[in-house]
Amino acid sequence: MLQRLSVAIGLALAAVLLSPASAHADDQITITIAKHARLTADGSVVIRAFVRCGPLPGAEDFQEVHAGIAQPRTGAGGEGGLDGTVVCDGVERAHTARFSPLDQSFRPGPARANVSMIACRLVGDDQVCFTDSESRRVIIARRR
């Protein structure tokens, strides 16, 4: 199930990234995932992501932010979004994502976290989309 989830997210992002009106916004959107994740008392995992977006041209059309985590050693995984809305005003802000395990339980140790964002704007008669994604190894630690 975890592999199917990763493939589905990857295919959806690839479709957006390869469309002619998309732009990989190296300087418009940046995402950084913190190295340490937290295992909560209920078995969920919380990651922190730092996102800077914009300012972007035109009027806002839509934005989506997806996040996921996988722990191959245990088979645990989860997906969702970031808390709150990413504001595209050029200021970096911290966001969190909370993942409840889908099949197996999360355990302290290494995992792979990812966050991807697409922000589409209307510029004149055109829709222009900006994207970024980050994937990194994180360490899940017990709640203190």
pLDDT tier for residue 121 given thresholds of 50, 70 and 90: very high
> Does pLDDT of 25 surpass 50?
no
Do 68 and 114 contact (CB within 8 A), yes or no?
A: yes
Please give the Cα distance from 130 to 112 (Å, whole number): 24
> Does pLDDT of 129 surpass 90?
yes
Average pLDDT rounded to a whole number, residues 87-111: 96
3-state SS string over the chain? CHHHHHHHHHHHHHHHHCCCCEEECCCCEEEEECCEEEECCCCCEEEEEEEEECCCCCEEEEEEEEEEEEECCCCEEEEECCCCCCCCCCCCEEEEEEECCCCCCCCCEEEEEEEEEEEEEEECCEEEEEEEEEEEEEEEEECC
pTM of the model: 0.81
What range defines the domain where residue 52 resides?
2-142
pLDDT at position 102, please?
86
Beta bridge partners of 39: 45, 142
The number of domains in the chain is 1
Beta bridge partners of 116: 66, 133
CATH code for position 23:
2.60.40
> Does pLDDT of 3 surpass 60?
no
Residue 44 neighbours by CB distance under 10 Å: 14
pLDDT at position 103, please?
86
The percentage of the chain sitting over the pLDDT mark of 90, rounded to a whole number, equals 76
